[in-house]
């Protein structure tokens, strides 16, 4: 039965609605059990109640059930993606198991990536990371459901369209200026009141919650030193004397308000590790060196090398942790 025929039609005590809620509860509980097996810890169920909006979790399924019978489901939640439905097709799951048995990640088909950007999966991956930023997560979910313009294909939402365009930008090496000009032109070509961002800054702001924080470190133009630690407050390189900051053509003075000549962008290692373990499929792969390797005396991976065994022997507590990276 089409879910639209029972999810949003009162009364919320009708026979169809009760059966539908029971179907949802069964789906949510099954998904919770899978997560508990994969992560080895007690989980919580995300609540799709109108006020919780899939941003709150509860350990007791009865709380979620009570919310749904009191106020009903949030809008446009006919596909229960936050509760394990519709994220992986059976074909994808089968292929994933085959490649995991060999300890390899799945090969990517570039054409498939263009058609399916796995937006729902990405949102689920960052859900735990943004748990303390409900407004940011809510905006991200809204953008994933907001159609690009009234009457457009459901495949093209504000978030998915921005992601597709940014992928083209990176793939073809477009400058920020040319990308902004293209976005403005597309916005004029689309129907009025469309949701397409009109600048590179706005597009990056939409995708920002799914990215990682980048630490910017000023560097010597000649790559002598990084301006950090004991060099943090210097204006010139202590080795070659090169200026840390760009000089104004009319003013040769240097101060820390000017833009740096060269910048090193660093992705903090802890946040990278958190992202690796946020997706349960990736989490399995980063434990491969313990759970999936072949011990036949052949050297096919760094884990088979004597250097790896030396590190494990020197730091036994670290080596005994299957999730060590």
- Domain borders along the chain are 4-83, 117-210, 215-266, 287-325
Look at residues 285, 289, 296 and name the one whose alpha carbon lies nearest to residue 322: 289
pLDDT tens-digit series, residues 24-47: 888 888 888 877 776 666 677 888
DSSP assignment of 168-216 = HHHHHT--HHHHHHHHHHHHHHSPTT-----SHHHHHHHHGGGS---EE
State the residue for tokens 């940011």: 136
Residue 133 pLDDT: 64
Best mean pLDDT range from 125-139, 198-212, 218-232, 262-276: 218-232
Integer-rounded Cα Rg, in Å, for the chain is 25
pLDDT tens-digit series, residues 149-160: 888 877 788 888
- Cα separation, 129 vs 146, whole angstroms: 23
């Amino acid at each position: 039965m089409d879910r639209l025929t029972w999810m949003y039609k009162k009364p919320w005590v009708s026979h169809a609605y009760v059966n539908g809620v029971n179907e949802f509860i069964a789906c949510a509980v099954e998904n919770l059990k899978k997560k508990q097996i994969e992560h080895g810890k007690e989980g919580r169920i995300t609540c799709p109640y109108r006020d919780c909006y899939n941003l709150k979790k509860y350990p007791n399924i009865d709380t979620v059930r009570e919310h749904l019978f009191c106020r009903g489901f949030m809008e446009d939640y006919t596909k229960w993606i936050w509760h394990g439905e519709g994220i992986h097709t059976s074909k994808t799951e089968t292929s994933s198991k085959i490649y995991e048995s060999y300890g390899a990640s799945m090969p990517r088909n570039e054409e498939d990536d263009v058609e399916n950007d796995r937006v729902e999966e990405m949102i689920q991956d960052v859900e735990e990371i943004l748990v303390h930023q409900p407004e940011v997560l809510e905006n991200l979910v809204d953008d994933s459901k907001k159609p690009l313009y009234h009457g457009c294909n459901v495949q093209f939402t504000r978030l998915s369209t921005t992601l597709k365009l940014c992928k083209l930008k990176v793939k073809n090496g477009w400058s920020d200026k040319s990308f902004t000009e293209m976005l403005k032109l597309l916005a004029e070509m689309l129907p009025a009141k469309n949701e397409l961002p009109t600048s590179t800054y706005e597009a990056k702001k939409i995708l920002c919650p799914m990215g990682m924080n980048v630490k910017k470190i000023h560097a010597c133009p000649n790559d002598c030193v990084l301006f950090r630690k004991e060099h943090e407050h210097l204006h010139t390189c202590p080795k070659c004397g090169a200026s840390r900051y760009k000089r104004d053509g009319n003013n040769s003075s240097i101060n820390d308000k000017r833009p740096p000549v060269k910048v090193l962008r660093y992705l903090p290692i802890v946040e990278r590790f958190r992202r690796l373990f946020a997706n349960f499929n990736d989490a399995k792969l980063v434990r491969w060196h313990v759970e999936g390797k072949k011990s036949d005396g052949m050297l096919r991976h760094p884990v088979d090398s004597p250097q790896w065994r030396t590190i494990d022997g020197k730091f036994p507590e670290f080596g005994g942790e299957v999730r060590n990276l």
